[in-house]
Copies of this chain bind each other. A is one copy, B any other.
Amino acid sequence: MQEVTRYIQTHRDDFERDLADLLRIASVSADSRQNSETRRAAEWVAGQFKQCGLAPEIIPTAGHPLVYAETPAVPGKPVALVYGHYDVQPPEPLDEWITPPFEPTVRNGNIHARGATDDKGQMLTHVKGVEAWLNSVGKLPIQVKFLIEGEEEVGSVNLAPFVERHREKLACNAIVISDSSQFAPGVPAITYGLRGIAYYELKLRGPKQDLHSGTFGGAITNPAGALATMLAALKDADGRIQVPGFYDEVLPLTDRERAEYRALPTTEEQFMQSVGVDGMFGEAGYTALERRWARPTCDINGLTSGYQGEWAKTVLPARASAKFSFRLVPNQDPKKISAALQKFLEARVPPGIQMELVDHHGAPGIVISLDSPYMRAATGAISAAFGRPPVFVREGGSIPIVNTFSRQLGADVLLLGWGQNDDNTHSPNEKFNLNDYHLGTLASACLWEEISRLPPTKQ
C-alpha cells in the first residue's frame, strides 16, 4: 500500500492534467448536437483503462454508450463494482459562468468546469486509484469492475435493462458510487440512505374553455380554486400528509440515528441562512435534518393555470394543473401510494370538474445497513485517507439506479461522496476541490486494500 500511496502523491500533476482533459469534452447527454463530444468522453474513459493495461469495452445502447472495464479476478476475495457517469448537465445559463464551462480553470484550489464534481472528477478518483495500484504494485488485491455510463443526466434509461441482462458480468459484493458530497469541508461522509420518489401531475378540467370571470364567476367550480383546495388537503396544519395509509410502512428513525444527527456540526440557523429563509416548517415532531433525510414529504413542483402574463386578466380558467411529488422513505411502496393518492383525490373532485392524475415515475427509498462489513471497510479507507472517520448521513434526493443495483445485484451500495455541498452541481460555476480529488483517489485505493482483508464471501 505504501507504493500505491507514493504513486498517488507523486502523480498529482498528471491526475489534474487528465481531469482537465476530460472536463474539456462537452459531453452534454441531453443535447444531441453534442453527441460526438459525448462519444469522445466515452472513448477518453476507455483510453484511461487501456493505459493501465486493461481491456475496456465501449458498449453501445439505444442512447449513449457504456464503458466497462475490469481488473483481473482475485480468487477467494470479494469483488467491487464502481459505477459513475461521464455525461454532464447542460451548462446553461452560460452568461453566469465566471470562466467558460468547458475550459477548466483552477481558482482557490478548486477546478471549475461543468462536470467537475458531477461526476467526472469524482468518478476519475476510482480510475486513478486503480491506475496507482497497477502502475506501482502491478495488480489489485481484489477484483474491481467499472461501469461508467453516459446517460445519468437524462434518466439512465438504458442502464437498468443492461444491468438486468448482465447480472453475471456485473456480479459483485459491493457497489461503489462517488456522486455526492461530504458533510462539510474536512468532514467526509458516507451516505447510507436515499429517499425514493413518487412524482405526479394533477390535471383538472372545468368548462370547455376559458370563461369571463365576471359573467360566469360564482356559477361553476373554478378549476384553479379546486386545485388549490385539493392540494391544500394533502397536508394538515402540522405538515402531516393526509393520504390514508401514507405513513403505514414508513421505517421509523432509530434513537441512534436521531442522536447521531443531533451531534452533526450544523445548526438550523446555518441552514436557514444558506437557503435564504427566515423560518422553517415541516412535519411536527422532527428536526429539519430528520425531515430532509428520513421522513417522507410532499412538495409542489409546479403550478399552471389561467393568465400568467403581466397585469390582470379576468378569466375563469378552463384548466389548472400541478406537478407534485412525494419523497418516500423505506419501506414505502410507490405503487401503493399512487393507488391511495388516486382514491384520496377522486373523493375530493368538486362538481363540474374532470380530474386526471398522471403518475410520472416512482422509486422506493433505500437504507444500507451500517453493520455491513463493506461499510466498515469504507470507514477505514476514508479514515486513512482523510485523517478522520466519516459521519453517516442520508440524502433527501433519489438516485434511482441505486435501487436497480441493490435489487439486481444483491450487493451493498457504498455512496462515498468526495464533493462539497456548495459545488454548484447542475448550476453555473460547478467546481471540485483538487485536494478532495486527491484524497478521494487515495481513499479509493485504500478501499480495495480494506476490502481484501474481509473474510471471503459467497458471490
Contacts and interface: CB of A to CB of B under 8 A. Distances in A.
Contacts of A351: 277-281
A293 to B, nearest CB: 9
A301 B224 CA distance: 8
A69 to B, nearest CB: 28
A195 B209 contact: no
Interface stretch (A43-51, A319-327, A440-448): A319-327
A210 to B, nearest CB: 5
Interface stretch (A247-255, A308-316, A408-416): A308-316
B232 A311 contact: no
A364 interface: no
A282 interface: yes
A427 B92 contact: no
A213 B299 contact: yes
A432 to B, nearest CB: 15
Contact of A323 (B272, B275, B306, B395): B306
B228 A314 contact: no
A30 B360 contact: no
Interface string A396-437: 111000000000000000000000010011111100000000
A361 interface: yes
Interface in A42-93: 89-90, 92-93
A225 B315 contact: no
A199 B312 contact: yes
Contacts of A296: 218
